[in-house]
Amino acid sequence: MATNATNLLCKHTSEHILSDNICREVCNIAAYTRTVEDSKALNNSPMPKVIISASGMATGGRVLHHLKNIMGDPKNTILFTGFQAGGTRGERIIKGEKLIKIHGNMYSLRANVQSLQNISAHADYSEILSWLHNFKKSPKQTFITHGNPAAATSLKEKIESELGWHTTIPEYLETVVL
């Protein structure tokens, strides 16, 4: 997905402030891994590297193999960008748990862990409300299915007070017939 997003960035330079040349220069700095074998090769290479990986909350995907490979070495840094939801592996790593379970095995966390809270790809409530204000017709029902309980409740209240929409925060495993 990141590779595809990078390609889109360079394809649509009229949609952002980077020139064609700068965009291509920035995007060509990285080597993109497209296969599982490429990812495994990163873990087997002794060279210093920066691995940028998806699954920002460390819940699945190739990032888990990278974490298993680097988390035990205090010379390494694991850098999270954005919010880590409660109960996720990412949150447990940021909170400093010393043993992290991945693929059924426990791994010691000795790497340096850092978090940048201001680089989330998710919209905040004001951006969501701004987007919702553009609807020509209100939906019959609005569901909030993302975010921690306090943030979801706050967004629900804002949508209801500003837009007058019927808004629900579904319970875990709740089913709704539409």
Chain mean pLDDT for the chain: 88
N-to-C CA span, the chain: 30
- pLDDT of 123 over the 80 cut: no
Q: What percent of the chain lies above the pLDDT cut of 90?
A: 47
* pLDDT band at 110; cut points 50, 70, 90: very high
pTM of the model: 0.67
pLDDT tens-digit readout, 11-26: 888 888 888 899 889 8
pLDDT (mean) for 88-102: 95
